[in-house]
Amino acid sequence: MLTSDHGAWGFTSSTGLGFTHHTIVDAHFHACADTYGHLLGQAGIQPGWRVLDAGCGSGDFLPWLAALVGPQGQVDALDLAEENAALARRRTDALDLACGIDVRQGSVLALPYADDSFDAVWCSNTVQYLDDGELAGALSEMCRVVRPGGVVAVKELDPHLITARPVDPFLFHDFFRAAGATPGYARQLMRSRDLYRWLKRAGLAGVRQQTVLIEHFAPLTEAARDFYGSACAQLATQARDLGLSDEWELFLDPEAGRNPLDHPDGYISEGGVLAVGTVPPGARELR
């Protein structure tokens, strides 16, 4: 799970994984909240269900999940970083939510729940941290804890759709191609459009997938400017080390007046992928 390149991505939590500190996770969530809400609504979660948020981060999705399952439902959550789990616990305890929520520290590679405990698993922006073997194992665990007929829904970032203006339209493409040339975080990020294949291999039935373009136009909202300013500066540092285009220098200082994000025609986009499958009857006997 932890590859040698994670430190270069920055914003690490106690796990050492890049982009897992609650400040950057929260900033990304708020920048893309409308699309995140839309994708969650496509997962098929029903009132009265018991749902697991596997890799909950600081708990941004938990109020939405509680609203979906309602007072007859239950939401459980876990995150690998103890401080993120603790923050999610404090946040949910401070809210008057529709149902009970239990948050604990744990790994998606060894979910601390019995077989058939849940009607659905929601997993957002988490499998990007798993290598191929770990991804297969995590999906097996999600299938194990979901009852037959229940849902496994995996949402991820799609870096193929990251681009900005007014800079070279291939600036980000070239970065991810270079950064993903060797095994590590970038290559795992690039796997998101293949999630439907991974869910099928895990034995899930009725697998469906959709990819949504998330666009931000100048003037960027405060939330979008906060996230993309910080994220692009971190990528620019890596791009410089990789010997890529000098245009990355424009992103190095989030506050610089020449930053493309602040241009009157400024634009930045990314993608969101949702892959959903159903645990078939008899799945337990096949394992």
pLDDT band at 284 (very low <50, low <70, confident <90, very high): low
**85-124: string of b/e by CB count within 10 Å (b at 16+)?**
bbbbbebbeeeebbbebebbebbbeebebeeebbbbbbbb
Architecture of domain 6-279 in CATH?
3-Layer(aba) Sandwich (3.40)
pLDDT band at 144 (very low <50, low <70, confident <90, very high): very high
Instruction: Identify the burial level of 265 via C-beta atoms within 10 angstroms of its C-beta, where 0-12 means exposed, 13-18 middle and 19 or more buried.
Output: exposed
Report yes or no: 217 and 266 within 8 Å, Cβ to Cβ: yes
Residue 2 pLDDT greater than 70, yes or no: no
**Angle at which helices 22-31 and 222-241 cross, to 10°:** 120
pLDDT averaged over every residue in the chain: 95
91: tokens are 């946040």
Sheet holding 205-217, edge to edge: 100-105, 74-79, 50-54, 118-124, 146-165, 267-278, 205-217
**What are 224-270's pLDDT values in tens digits?**
999 999 999 999 999 999 999 999 999 999 988 899 999 999 999 99
Single-letter residue type at 58: S
Residue 187 pLDDT greater than 70, yes or no: yes
195: tokens are 């999630």
What percent of the chain is predicted at pLDDT more than 70? 97
**Angle at which helices 82-93 and 62-69 cross, to 10°:** 50
Residue 4 pLDDT greater than 80, yes or no: no
**What are 96-135's pLDDT values in tens digits?**
999 999 999 999 999 999 999 999 999 999 999 999 999 9
Residue 220 pLDDT greater than 90, yes or no: yes
The torsion region of residue 149 among left (phi > 0), alpha (psi -120 to 50) and beta comes to left
Residue 62 pLDDT greater than 70, yes or no: yes
pLDDT band at 282 (very low <50, low <70, confident <90, very high): confident
Q: In the chain, what are the domain boundaries? A: 6-279
Residue with tokens 């989030």: 254
Least Cα distance to 75 among 51, 47, 105 occurs for: 51
| Close Cβ partners of 109 (under 8 Å, ≥ 6 residues apart) | 1, 130, 134, 137, 138, 141
Predicted confidence at residue 285, as pLDDT, reads: 56
pTM, to two decimals: 0.95
Predicted confidence at residue 46, as pLDDT, reads: 98
Predicted confidence at residue 6, as pLDDT, reads: 78
Greatest Cα-to-Cα distance within the chain, rounded to the nearest angstrom: 61
